[in-house]
Amino acid sequence: MRPLTIAIVSATSFSPLDVSEMRETLPNEFFRFVMGTGRLSRAAETKNQKAIVDQIHDIIVRDGDPTREIEAAVSFVSNAEWDPKLHHTVLHWAVLHREDAILAFLIKHVPGIDVNARDKFLKSTPLHLAATSGDVNAIKLLLGVEGIDVNPRDAFGMTPLSWAVASKGKHAVEILLKAPGIDVNSCDADDQTPLYTAVKVGCLDIIVSLLSADGINVNPRTNDQSTPLHKAVIDGRDDIVELLLHAHGIDLNARDNMQRTPLHWAAIKGNDRIVQLLLIDLGVMVNALDTWNKTALDYATSQGFSRTVVLLMSTPGVDSTTCDDDRETPPELAEANRGWPDVPSPLDTPWGIDIEYKQDPMIQGIRQLADSQVRRSTQPPNHDP
């Protein structure tokens, strides 16, 4: 078979008839070898690319003999730039252009080729590129190589898993999560983990996969100390918020660098659905103070979110008397903002805030709770023995 191998690697091209005949006569594995070497030879256009192909042919003809010449050839193929503009090796090029046949050919027939080689610009490995493009076949081929680094960080501090998540590659993420040694909590340059990134790009399927991964941290902190739950609330993704709230160990009172909890942000955004979801948990800190000593209720009243105010007022233990750094209480903030579009003229509701949603059964029930709480707070203490 060796003379045939030498003849094949020496050929530069094959006609359609050649390919048809070889498919019928050659074993499948050898046919793939023929197609790999033929495709690689045709792809080589520059002097440097042809030099790389020549070294590959030399390695194959020598049948991988462990000599210094072969080691030098493998090192050259691993590190030489196939694409000088992108600083990509031949492996990078094969992955980027989805040349899976060439990738498989190189991995199998150039023993010792460096699958962890990095380009000089972005410090990306072939696995980074495969994960970014969602090339499942390339990912599987690379993960099957002994010594593959599954957690390399590029110039942005991102791993292949991070890129697969950022690219919304559901199947790529699932394959990488099964790789031995995968770091599901790796942080990029902004201290964002794959879970945070999944929330940022809003991909529910990937979030579910990550939450099911062994060792997942559901409360990772970014460089501004926000968590995935903060991000979901800020982006108004109530579906993601609900998903995260069911995650084991979730911290719904986590504070960012402004000491704001997710409830603060839900009130700031006036997102009543998310406020409801957060208030369902009895452990929520409804009176938490941020850096400016403001509560969620302060923000809801100051921005005129009437419905949000009533939702918060219906929560047992809510404190409507706290003063922020401007020495203003929620009632005073409401009084100052009566003219805002969402805060109509005062009627008989708490603090003079009119509730526009009188026909809403949910609001009617919550309003009754809020009114009863206000009545309790204004009743004189009972001094009976």
Domain for residue 79, yes or no?
yes
Q: What is the DSSP letter of 292?
A: T
- Does residue 158 contact residue 123 with C-beta atoms inside 8 Å? no
Q: What is the pLDDT of residue 321?
A: 73
Among 175, 190, 215, the domain boundary falls at: 215
- Could you tell me the end-to-end alpha-carbon distance of the chain, in angstroms, rounded to an integer? 106
Q: What is the DSSP letter of 88?
A: B
Q: What is the pLDDT of residues 161-178, one digit of tens each?
A: 999 999 999 999 999 999
53 by Cβ neighbours in 10 Å (0-12 / 13-18 / 19+) ranks as buried
Domain for residue 228, yes or no?
no
Domain for residue 42, yes or no?
yes
Range of the domain at 325: 265-380
- 122 with 12, same domain: the answer is yes
pLDDT per residue of the chain (385 residues) written in tens, 0 to 9: 444 444 444 444 544 444 444 444 544 544 455 555 667 878 888 999 999 988 988 888 776 566 788 889 999 999 999 999 999 999 999 999 999 989 998 998 899 999 999 999 999 999 999 999 999 999 999 999 999 999 999 999 999 999 999 999 999 999 999 999 999 999 999 999 999 999 999 999 999 999 999 999 999 999 999 999 999 999 999 999 999 999 999 999 999 999 999 999 999 999 999 999 999 988 999 999 999 999 999 999 888 898 999 899 889 888 877 665 555 655 555 555 554 444 433 333 444 444 444 344 444 444 454 455 445 444 444 443 3
What Å distances lie between residue 344 and 185, 331, 335, CA to CA?
A: 48, 15, 11
- 126 with 162, same domain: the answer is no
- 91 with 154, same domain: the answer is no
Domain for residue 385, yes or no?
no
Rg of the chain over CA atoms, in angstroms?
Answer: 31
Q: What is the pLDDT of residue 330?
A: 55
Q: What is the pLDDT of residue 43?
A: 85
Domain for residue 223, yes or no?
no
Domain for residue 204, yes or no?
yes
Domain for residue 45, yes or no?
yes
- 275 with 355, same domain: the answer is yes
Phi-psi region of 87 (alpha: psi -120 to 50; beta: other; left: phi over 0): left
User: How far is it, in rounded angstroms, from Cα 11 to Cα 182?
Assistant: 41
- 125 with 155, same domain: the answer is no
119: three-class secondary structure by DSSP: coil
- Does residue 72 contact residue 78 with C-beta atoms inside 8 Å? no
- Here the tokens at position 132 are 């970014």
Q: Report residue 69 CA to chain centroid gap.
A: 44
- Does residue 229 contact residue 262 with C-beta atoms inside 8 Å? yes
- 155 with 122, same domain: the answer is no
Amino acid code (one letter) for 16 = P
What CATH number did the domain enclosing 193 receive?
1.25.40.20
- 93 with 6, same domain: the answer is yes
- 95 with 7, same domain: the answer is yes
Q: What is the pLDDT of residue 331?
A: 55
User: How far is it, in rounded angstroms, from Cα 135 to Cα 316?
Assistant: 52
The total of structural domains in the chain comes to 3
Q: What is the pLDDT of residue 59?
A: 84
Domain for residue 236, yes or no?
no
- Here the tokens at position 331 are 């009632």
- 178 with 81, same domain: the answer is no
